[in-house]
């Protein structure tokens, strides 16, 4: 079973993704958050409830644009903590330049995280 956390500040987007993922028998959405603070609290709660010592979830589906602190801040924190969760970044940005910039920054983060 793949355990997934959804983090997006738009509840309607989270609901749509959750409803889509519910069709997969091997995926379980274990939690949702709307901002950085909610995500951190959720991950602490989920991790503390596990007896096997594993991470809170296997995958974090993360909106890059969050209120307050960005998705990149989340990824840097996860890297600094050595959290093994895989991150799938999503964005509603329609600007090619913006997408390109975020992709480069995420790729740079990934290279740093994997070394």
Indicate yes or no: pTM above 0.95: no
Pick out the chain residues at pLDDT < 50.
Answer: 111-115
Q: Which residues of 81-115 are buried (b: 16+ CB within 10 A; e: fewer)?
A: eebebebebbbeeeeeeeeeebeebbeebeeeeee
Residue 99 has φ and ψ, to the nearest 5°, of -60, -45
Residue 68: per-residue pLDDT: 86
Q: What is the mean pLDDT of the chain?
A: 82
Pairing mode, strands 86-90 and 59-63: parallel
The pLDDT tens digits of the residues spanning 8-33 come to 999 999 999 999 999 999 999 999 99
């Amino acid at each position: 079973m793949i355990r997934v956390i959804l983090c997006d500040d738009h509840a309607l987007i989270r609901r749509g993704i959750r409803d889509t993922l519910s069709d997969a028998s091997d995926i379980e959405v274990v939690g949702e958050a709307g901002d950085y603070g909610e995500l951190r609290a959720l991950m602490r709660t989920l991790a503390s409830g596990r007896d096997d010592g594993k991470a809170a979830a296997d995958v974090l589906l993360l909106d890059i644009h969050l209120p307050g602190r960005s998705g990149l801040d989340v990824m840097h924190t996860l890297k600094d903590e050595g959290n093994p969760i895989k991150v799938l970044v999503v964005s509603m940005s329609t600007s090619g330049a913006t997408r390109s910039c975020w992709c480069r920054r995420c790729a740079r983060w990934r290279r740093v995280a994997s070394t």
